Amino acid sequence: MVDKIKQYLRTDSIGISIVYEEEVESTNLLAKTLADENVMNGTVVVAKRQTSGRGRLGRTWCSPEGNAYFTIILKPDVCAEYVSRITLVAALALAESIERVTDLPIQIKWPNDIVVSNRKLCGILTESKVGKDGLRYVIIGVGINANQEEFDASICDMATSLLNEMGEGVDIAQLIAEFLNDFEVCYKQFLQTQDLSLLKDSYNQSLVHFDKTVRVIGQDEIIGISKGIEESGALLLQMDDGKLERIIAGELSVRGLYGYV
């Protein structure tokens, strides 16, 4: 797997060091241990399967063999409050790289779900550690439903895989390498400004809900027309009176997507 990923890799720092395991609890967990042990910036942890894959909001991420599970360890000189922006950087790189490899029309659901045919294809879980001296590390965990044919009944209406969309299997090593190539380019652009000003137009072009009515469930429920992200990564919602509201965090649902009607 490592040799195959390296065959496709064209990066300067991301993925130069790869730690590969057949089975782990979670690549994010192993990445945190390695980051605490001071592995180099850009190290990527890849696993064939996970026994306790973790999703956002404390959910589990079902992780059978056949899909891609990996985590990038980053040690950026960035203000801790901007870490969540790196998740959007990863979402853009995922959408662009998977579209290039597969030719499928890949889209993003803010902030970081990757969607095809209105179903979720990938998830990203970003975690970080902050010490007295500021941000110690950021880890970006990515799961891509690649060669999975069947999903648990609880998610089978909401999830899909590249195999199901294309009717043929995909090379996970190529997918991971192409993502890392795109991620490095986008991440360098992010580091120039520490925001998404150089990336937001591409991100907004990939949004599945651009100019569509969405419902955001945060502390309150807000309904408005999605106008894409601004530099900070916040989603702009146009309200009935024409004013724009900035949404910083929350669960977003889009009519027709994942079954919301």
179 binds ligand BTN (CB under 6 A): no
Distance CA(87)–CA(199), nearest Å, equals 12
Distance CA(140)–CA(13), nearest Å, equals 15
Distance CA(221)–CA(66), nearest Å, equals 38
The pair of structure tokens assigned to 62 is 């079902």
**Contact pattern for ligand BTN over residues 139 through 168, marking x by CB under 6 A:** --xxx-------------------------
Q: How far is the CA of 85 from the CAs of 18, 94, 127, 168, 248, in angstroms?
A: 24, 14, 12, 34, 11
In whole angstroms, how close is the CB of 143 to ligand BTN at the nearest point? 3
**Contact pattern for ligand BTN over residues 15 through 44, marking x by CB under 6 A:** -----------xxx----------------
Q: How far is the CA of 204 from the CAs of 36, 197, 238, 244, in angstroms?
A: 35, 11, 15, 16
Question: Pick from 42, 111, 123, 224: which binds ligand BTN (CB under 6 A)?
Answer: 123
Question: Pick from 18, 43, 61, 257: which binds ligand BTN (CB under 6 A)?
Answer: 61
Nearer to ligand BTN, 56 or 136 (CB): 56
Q: How many residues bind ligand BTN (CB under 6 A)?
A: 18
Nearer to ligand BTN, 31 or 224 (CB): 31
Distance CA(136)–CA(130), nearest Å, equals 5
Question: Pick from 53, 111, 224, 233: which binds ligand BTN (CB under 6 A)?
Answer: 53
Spell out a b/e string for 185-198, using b for 16 or more CB atoms within 10 Å of the CB, else e.
bbbebbeeebebee
Nearer to ligand BTN, 152 or 241 (CB): 152
Phi, psi of 67 (to 5 degrees): -105, 175
Nearer to ligand BTN, 61 or 203 (CB): 61
Q: What is the DSSP letter of 77?
A: -
By CB under 6 A, name the binding residues for ligand BTN. Answer: 26-28, 50, 53-56, 59, 61, 69, 71, 123-125, 141-143
